[in-house]
Amino acid sequence: MTVVRRLRASDVETLKAMNRLFAEAFDEPETYLPAPSDAYLERLAARDEFIALAASVDGDLAGCLVAYELIKLEQQRSEIYIYDLAVREEYRRRGVATALIEALKPIARDCGAWMIFVQADPPDAPAVALYNKLGLREEVLHFDISPAAALPARG
């Protein structure tokens, strides 16, 4: 049975374990390791707009999700953006990812969110299949804008 719980400031060790799981699942150790300091993780997890969910199966961390509440200007509502979701390989195809998303829904409702959204890279067929099952697909372009880079000169 999958048990999902929301992490808080006192769950620093589980937040670090989530970073290790993300590093492994996405094969991006340079992005996720080493984990930020305990103080940073405590401050982050204390914020209501930060949502970290851990899914356990028989006491093992099987999967995790990180999402952010984006408070909107145009309406008195927010959206929830799923930033990272990973399931340990031996627990895949057992409903862990779906359980994480289902656990996110009441959190979204409680904060007044009208939508949960997530991005998936087309080559990641299992993620695309999961999100197709759970929601409506929308084709968009994604742009990374560096805050450090100067705009190119226009002539």
Predicted local confidence at residue 154, as pLDDT? 66
To which residue do tokens 């959190």 refer?
107
Question: How far is residue 9's CA from residue 60's CA, in Å, rounded to a whole number?
Answer: 20
The reported pLDDT for the residue numbered 124 is 78
Which residues neighbour 53 within 8 Å (Cβ) at sequence distance 6 or greater? 4, 5, 6, 7, 64, 65, 66, 67, 100, 103, 104
pTM: 0.87
Tell me, what's the pLDDT at 126? 80
Q: Is 121:155 a contact under the CB 8 Å cutoff?
A: no
**Residue 129 pLDDT:** 80
The values of phi and psi at residue 86, to 5°, are: -145, 150
CB 18 within 8 A of CB 61: yes
**Residue 155: what pLDDT?**
61
Per-residue pLDDT of the chain (155 residues; tens, 9 = 90+): 999 999 999 999 999 999 999 999 999 999 999 999 999 999 999 999 999 999 999 999 999 999 999 999 999 999 999 999 999 999 999 999 999 999 999 999 999 999 999 988 877 778 878 787 888 888 877 777 778 877 776 66
pLDDT of residue 22: 97
Ordered structural domains, the chain, with CATH: 2-134 (3.40.630.30)
- Cα distance between residue 67 and residue 85, in whole Å: 9
Query: What is the strand order of the sheet 60-71 is part of?
Result: 2-6, 50-57, 60-71, 78-87, 113-118
